[in-house]
Structure 1
Amino acid sequence: MPDTDVPRDEIDGAGSRIVQLDRTTGLVRTISGAGQATALVLVRDGGRTAGVVTVDSDSEPASAPRVLALPPAPRRAWDEGAGASLGASVVLCTTGDCELLRSAVEALLAQTHPDFELIVVDNAPATGRTRAALAGLEDARLRIVEQAVPGLSWARNTGVAAARRPVIAFTDDDALVDPGWLVALLDPLASDPDRVIGATTGMVLPAELRYRAQRWFESRGGFPKDDVPRVWTIGPAPRSVRRFGAPGEGGPLYPVTTARVGAGVSMAYRAEALADAGDFDVRLGAGTPTRGGEDLDMFARLLRTGRVIVHTPDAVLHHRHRRTAAGLDAQIRGNGSGMSALIVKSVLERPATLLVLAGRVPGVAARLRPGSERVAGSDDDTPGSLTRSEIRGFLEGPWCYARAARAAKGLR
């Protein structure tokens, strides 16, 4: 939704400026929100992420006590910069109605990576919106391919089929990637001669915190934004990659659900690992009755093949969160239905999953207890209605999955 179309009562009096600080060069870059009372600062030491802190906006970020208290970002166990040696296909799926689409594509074309192609999948080609938004962008690396069947999984699979490089990365039309995003996302893959790493995920930060809904989304956890490397596996990590990061802690339903592993807005896969795991499930994802879960499903399926997923905090992008309370409510409800649909799928395909889930009930109950941050949010004014919407979506999930399965069966 364009800024001019957002009702003024959605504007947040407690909004924050979004800033990047490189302590190596002293450079400060404001992403959005100049003039806000506080600043959310991504602190970097060269290409490495040191942490994310909130400071008073009127102070110099470099001299803020919280910034000074952050220790230097340690050297990574992988070969930093090695990702530039891997050819990559970047897939961006869109219906053409996001005002940020052109900027998202321009940011991708500004990557420091020397050898990549950009595949924009138009998931609403009849409208002509995508081609209109990208008109005049002439770059040999850019291709637009079409998928008329609505649904993010259909679009992702179309992008995978069109990809010509050994690594396939994904991002969204409402995200702005940093210039070094792709190289950093591929660094662990390029430093893994045994090829046990099947995928990587990156850090997702807000592109703006101007509206209440955006702050509330972050208050409830937002996207995964771990500022240290993590290694995700089922079972012990292979010796060759243990040094890449601490083991990930996936929560009470891991690995049935994998929300802490990463998000579809910032992920990359070896093409061979995707082939082993199979297509993105067209019964899941935005544009289907389930409204989500296709990225988490792929993470889980890849892990079950025995491969590893590595999270790197150095692959940074900024995501434009929903600007209105109604938009956020719909997103949260979709998160609930997508999660529930994913669980239903897991139980139907692997009935033993039900026993695993039964043993995790106490952990889930603790996470959802009244007053917990997951339920109430970290900000006092986070609406309780968001939790109710998520629960409503969760209860709808099985029915949504059944509808999506019927629809997909008719299209295959």
Structure 2
Amino acid sequence: MITISVVICVYTEDRWEDILSAVASVRAQSRPAHETLLVVDHNTSLRERLAKEYKEAPHVRVLANAGPRGLSAGRNTGIAASGGEVIAFLDDDAVAERDWLLRFAEAYDDPQVFAVGGATRPVWASRRRPAWFPEEFDWVVGCMYRGHPTGRVRVRNVLGGNASFRRTAFESAGGFATGIGRDGDKRPLGCEETELCIRLTRARPDAVLLIDDRAVIHHRVPAARERFRYFRTRAYAEGLSKALVARSVGADKGLESERRYTTRVLPAGVGRGLRDALLGRPGGAGRAGAIVTGVVAAAGGYVIGSVRARRAGTEFSVVDVVEGPEERRSEGATG
């Protein structure tokens, strides 16, 4: 039976209840995790509080991020400290359904599978989706969006908040690149998992990457992220991130999925919004306008990011995180 370690990267005590819920959902899995690793991003008080909370909890460990501030380094710390044959990643403000790890494990029965992602569903703070918020842009709040492949199918990349990788994937491609993804309270960048997945398939052309939408997690969307201002800012940041990815792996691969999304999925979404507006349905015009705004913001971010990347050179690095996980188990670990 393949062993799966779960890594949850955390950074703020403001999400205390969310973190506890995330860990509880892992401990309640129908297919038990080998261990749960809580990696704390340069927050001593949170690390100490979590260490106390889980002091007596079996198979739950609390670690300090051993690298620079940010999500990528936190994930790399978890990978290096973990003992599972597969490493799964869960957002700190999400809860996994009971068969989440079971679905991942089933996919790894095929030795060619190197990564498996699942479906992330939004849990809106206001209890319902804002009428103007298009499903085509649910990636803005870290969730599966309209136009993303469904079922159990092969994909270019998995989505980082609900994903798993075979350990040998990191042996082949290295870890998550620092300098692309989120870094505390800075601009909400992303795409670090996209860059890693493309790097992986270049290093291992035989590698299969899957999405299985039966591996479900529910991701909390706070009120601040239901606002149009965040929508626009996140779309712009996505453009910046895509520019870094394109510089790293080339525009052909870096933008392969995005071309279909922008030429087919989004125009169809605008059409649906305008149709709903004509039929007098709530939010139709707003959704169409939001899609157009999101495209313009992302395109602007991509252009500016590309210019900056050319001037400054690549601003991220890839590290080897699997040279000896057992040696790093005790570094910064408590609980």
Bin for the TM-score computed over the shorter chain: 0.7 to 0.9
User: Residues 125 and 408 from structure 1, CA distance in 2 versus in 1: closer, same or farther, beyond 3 angstroms?
Assistant: farther
Query: Structure 1 residues 107, 390: closer, same or farther in 2, change over 3 A?
Result: same
1:181/1:393 CA distance change after superposition, 3 Å:
same
Q: Which amino acid letter does the alignment assign opposite residue 395 of structure 1?
A: V
After TM superposition, the score normalised by the length of structure 1 is 0.61
Structure 2 residue runs of 5 or longer lacking an equivalent are 275-282, 319-335
Q: CA deviation at 1:217?
A: 5.5
1:228 paired to 2:151: yes
Any stretches of 5+ residues in structure 1 without a counterpart? 1-84, 233-257, 348-352
Secondary structure, counterpart of 1:319 in structure 2: strand
1:283 aligns with 2:179: yes
Give distance in 1, aligned partners of 2:255 and 2:58: 52
Equivalent AA in structure 2 for residue 177 of structure 1: A
SS in 2 for 1:320: strand
Matched letter for residue 229 of structure 1? R
Specify the alignment match of 1:165 in structure 2.
84
SS in 2 for 1:220: helix
What secondary structure, in the 3-state scheme, does the structure 2 residue paired with 1:93 have? Answer: strand
- What is the aligned-residue RMSD (CA, Å)? 3.4
* Greater Rg by CA: 1
CA distance in 1, matches of 2:70, 2:259: 35
Alignment match of 1:334 (pick from 223, 237, 242): 237
Partner SS state of residue 216, structure 1 = coil
Q: Give the superposition deviation at 1:405.
A: 4.4
Contact kept in structure 1, 2:31 and 2:99, CA below 8 Å: yes
Bigger shift: residues 261-270 or 98-107: 98-107
Summarize the alignment of residues 282-361 of structure 1 with structure 2, pairs less than 5 Å apart.
Answer: 282-287=178-183, 291-304=189-202, 305-306=204-205, 307-324=207-224, 325=227, 326-347=229-250
The CA distance in 2 between the partners of 1:361 and 1:297, in whole Å, is: 14
The aligned counterpart of 1:151 is 70
Rate the CA distance shift 1:214–1:396 in 2: closer, same or farther, 3 A: farther
Comparing 324-333 with 210-219, greater Cα deviation is found at 210-219
| Equivalent residue, structure 2, for 1:54 | none
* Alignment partner, residue 122 of structure 1: 40
For 1:92, give the aligned amino acid: I
Q: Which amino acid aligns with 1:396?
A: I
Q: Structure 1 residues 329, 165: closer, same or farther in 2, change over 3 A?
A: same
RCO higher in structure (CA 8 A, sep ≥6) = 2
Aligned residues: 287
Could you tell me the percent identity over the aligned residues? 22
User: Residue type of the partner of 1:310?
Assistant: L
Distance 1:359 1:115 in 2: 34
> Per residue, is there more strand in 1 or in 2?
1
Q: 1:267, CA displacement in angstroms?
A: 1.1
Aligned to 1:333, what secondary structure does the other structure show? helix
Which has more helix, going by share of residues? 2
Hey, what's the Cα distance between the residues in 2 that align with 1:335 and 1:360? 14
Equivalent-residue separation in structure 1 for 2:64 and 2:305 (angstroms) = 29
In structure 2, distance between residues paired with 1:134 and 1:404: 40
